[in-house]
Structures are given as structure tokens and as C-alpha cells.
Amino acid sequence: MHSEYVIERQMAQDHGHDSLVQDIAIDTLAKTVAIRLLSHPDSRTRRRVPLELLFQQVEAVTVDADIITLRVEEGAGTVDHWHLADAAGASHIHMAKGHVSVAARIAPELIRLRA
């Protein structure tokens, strides 16, 4: 996971609507959760860009995802909306037929990945 740069908080607060979840990686030793997404960088851009939502110093994670529905919903997007913590606390990603909650000691980073 090589990042290009961290995206400004405005995009992180955009609620992630219509993003596509590609991968959820949980590293228990490093205490990280990385969610790879394809997402619209703003409301005017139709093309999705690769992003990573990175949680560090993770204390707890819950994933409830219907993998079949996530594949079927690819065209429309799998993320309905998200609420990302601004500091220590819980973040929630609400998906079509699923939910991810991550409690971490620091706020998550939304990182644009190289295409």
C-alpha cells in the first residue's frame, strides 16, 4: 500500500457516498485496518479514484458485510455513507447490506493511492 498523498479532510467528510469497497485488511500485530475503495473525489467528477481509508492504533473492529451484495452493487457503489471520527473514537462505514465499525486512538486518514 504505497500512498501518493493524504487527502484533505473535506473529502473525508463527504460521507463516501457511492464509493466501492475493494478490500478490507485487518493487521492485528500492527493494530491497523485499511479499507481500499474506489471513490468520486468530488461531486462533479464521475470517474472514481483509488483511495485507502487507514486506521491506526486500532482498539476494536467489527465487519458485517454481505460479499455477494457488495459485488452486485458495484455499478451504483457499495458505500451508502460514513461517519469518520475527527479524533480518537469510533468511525462507521454504512454499506449496502453491511457495516464496518473501527475504534481507534487517532482519527483515520483518507489517502489517494497511485492508479
Q: In which residue are the cell numbers 493487521 written?
A: 27
Residue 81 near residue 98, CB atoms below 8 Å: no
Question: For residues 5 and 80, what is the distance between their CA atoms, to the nearest angstrom?
Answer: 25
Question: For residues 42 and 33, what is the distance between their CA atoms, to the nearest angstrom?
Answer: 24
Domain that holds residue 52: 3-113
**Quick one: pLDDT at residue 49?**
87
Spans of the chain below 70 pLDDT? 1-14, 72-75, 115
Domain total of the chain: 1
Q: What is the pLDDT of residues 52-76, one digit of tens each?
A: 999 999 999 999 988 877 776 566 7
The total of other beta-carbon atoms located within 10 Å of residue 79's CB is: 24
Residue 19 near residue 70, CB atoms below 8 Å: no
Q: What is the pTM of this model?
A: 0.84
**Quick one: pLDDT at residue 107?**
94
Sheet containing strand 20-27, edge to edge, reads: 3-6, 109-113, 49-55, 32-39, 20-27
The contacts of residue 89 (CB under 8 Å, 6+ apart) are: 103, 104
